[in-house]
Structure 1
């Protein structure tokens, strides 16, 4: 097998979800089989294992050059190619191709991130208005990968592909700081409810903020970057609890690890989600989760969380207070560690390799 892994979605500056997924999965797979990285920028090699063999190709955003990509990979003797996206060019391919559709979140919530250029946001919205484009893209593959059973069910329910769909789970980013963090010795001194995620409408952060008026002994710590306008609205919503709602507006890796390690719980009232990487990251520290009761959260967290109706600040507050009962926090913390161990890049790499070998 000559396996080429599409690493062109790895960012040079810092990882987003696809970049981190690509980096971690490639690195884990490289421990198990010889493979070649397809890159469009040599600077991303810093994220990959030393002496990684690579092919320099076009940027994945160059649609014209993408039409000739398969011929280039054919000439390199590729027998199998994996891409962490579904848009990879395949015209004239002579190899087995595995494409990825991580989730369907933007088909149900097609508003593009405001950080993107206006033209890109327009194209984004058009692309996600119909399933037809993604059906065409996925059916070029020999197999399709997604990151959860929830997403697999949605792909099959919406008939997005006639090809086999395989679950390759996400896992937490490899971090070297996890053992350096000092953890509070007693749950009694923990009072932070930590949220990591965007502030898009479906994330429903309003419920968390409203609930703080019912939780006078707790602080809600919102870690992600936020616009001034959104911040002002949430502060108004907090009312008398405003002083206990903290906006970090972005954190470093070490700051993130410190906040997680000392948290009472990781929280989310999201009405929908693609996966929920912060859940897995929190479980790595044995932190209990208090989550909206949606299928993907049930799948990822299982017994590591307490769940609530996402429309109710009162029910969220009730679940926070339930964790104060004797032994409850320790029980969920233990469950969290056990569940967190399930998500492992080496295991995910082995599962992907099995998919490739069976084609």
Structure 2
């Protein structure tokens, strides 16, 4: 956005300024988890904004004198109500209650001029559940721009990558089960993980007869190491039962790394139904772990891997932050023009 216009960015602590482009101004507001969030519009009015874009849906709209775009990424927490563990206990409790019914969501979203979401899948579900009477626009997520993906004929290792949380619906257990059929492969779990969860996975792997060392826990990984890991891996794998977008999938494909995915609607949208770089397994099948293993073994064929790597990189190019920024700016300009006509 900062390459298209000169936005003012709302932050809630000074250190956030270090992550922003130099050509933007900032204003400081409370944290989005603050009890003052429902009244945010009253404080924002003082800055006289034209249009406010929030990457969440909780920012207060009551009494606003500006255009407002709210974001609803997905509907996962209506299916899986366990709140993120990094939130305080009171906020976790409110989060759970919030998702017991669609009514609070409708109230918040209808306080905006427009709603943004990150995929066509989420857009369809928002409309299906009638969560808002406002226009719903797709402002897609995207991977980083990679000018030179991995060499598809280069050396690859028998490494599989999982990047994501370890919540129940992520279904990492199926990936561990698949290692029984892939004794030469190592599964790298890249995200931060609690010791309790780590022990659960180790015990599960032992019960399946998975060899020691086939599970590798990074407990967090920096960008450069992760990129290098992607570029030598055979595939990124996920058998999640629910997703809103799947940014790790797009990131892996951008590097030219094939992906093996559960057959969710959103994964078929992001991975591409006819993309040789994405293979899909039936998440509802009793032999899904065998399907994962078969998909991995199919990539041992050099020609198949080359087709998959090229296809993955090509598919990732259909999602670009530049396009999303232009879409978002166009929505904001349209809202501003309509509000200006009403007040003139």
Residue 268 (structure 2) aligns with:
298
Report the counterpart of residue 343 of structure 1 in structure 2: 319
- Mapped to 2, the partners of 1:30 and 1:71 lie a distance apart of 26
- What value does the CA root-mean-square deviation take over the aligned residues? 2.1
Distance (Å, rounded) in 2 between the aligned partners of 1:45 and 1:232: 38
Correspondence 1:186 to 2:157: no
SS at match of 1:242: coil
Q: Deviations over 1:196-231 (max 9, x none)?
A: 111111111111111111012211111112222222
Q: Relative to structure 1, is the Cα distance of residues 348 and 32 closer, same or farther in structure 2, using a 3 angstrom cutoff?
A: same
C-alpha displacement at 1:101, in angstroms? 0.5
1:204 alignment partner in structure 2: 171
Quick check: 1:208–1:268 contact (8 Å CA) kept in 2?
yes
Whole-Å separation in 2 of the counterparts to 1:74 and 1:35: 16
Aligned equivalent of 1:256: 226
The equivalent of 1:8 in structure 2 is none
- List structure 1 segments (4+ residues) > 4 angstroms apart after TM superposition: 181-185
TM-score, normalised relative to structure 1: 0.85
Are the equivalent residues in 2 in contact too, given 1:235–1:242 (CA < 8 A)? no
2:341 corresponds in structure 1 to none
Q: 1:308 aligns with which of 262, 274, 281?
A: 281
User: Aligned partners of 1:354 and 1:89: how far apart in 2?
Assistant: 23
Kept in 2: contact 1:183–1:262 (CA 8 A): no
Q: What is aligned with 2:17?
A: 45
CA distance in 2, matches of 1:153, 1:256: 33
Per-residue deviation, 1:173? 4.6
- Give CA-to-partner distance per residue, 1:14-71, whole Å, 9 cap, x none: xxxxxxxxxxxxxxx111112211222222111111142122333333334752x434
- Give the aligned partner of residue 98 of structure 1: 69
Could you tell me whether the CA contact under 8 Å between 2:145 and 2:254 is conserved in 1? no
Q: Does 1:34 align with 2:1?
A: no
Secondary structure of 1:327 counterpart = helix
Asked if residue 126 in structure 1 is aligned to residue 93 in structure 2, the reply is no
* Structure-1 residue corresponding to 2:339: none
Map of 1:88 onto structure 2: 59
1:236 paired to 2:207: no
Helix, strand or coil at the partner of 1:306: strand
Deviation at 1:326, TM superposition (A): 4.4
Cα distance in structure 2, aligned partners of 1:32 and 1:255 = 31
Q: Which moved more, 1:240-249 or 1:305-314?
A: 240-249
* Structure 1 position 217 matched with structure 2 position 181: no
Q: Number of matched residues?
A: 326
State the TM-score, normalized to the length of structure 2: 0.89
* Structure 1 segments unaligned to the other structure (5+ residues): 1-28
Aligned to 1:70: 41
Cα drift, residue 148 of structure 1: 0.3
Kindly indicate whether the alpha-carbon contact (under 8 Å) linking 2:183 and 2:211 is maintained by their aligned counterparts in 1: no
Q: 1:225 to 1:357 in 2, by over 3 A?
A: same
Match for residue 342 of structure 2? Answer: none
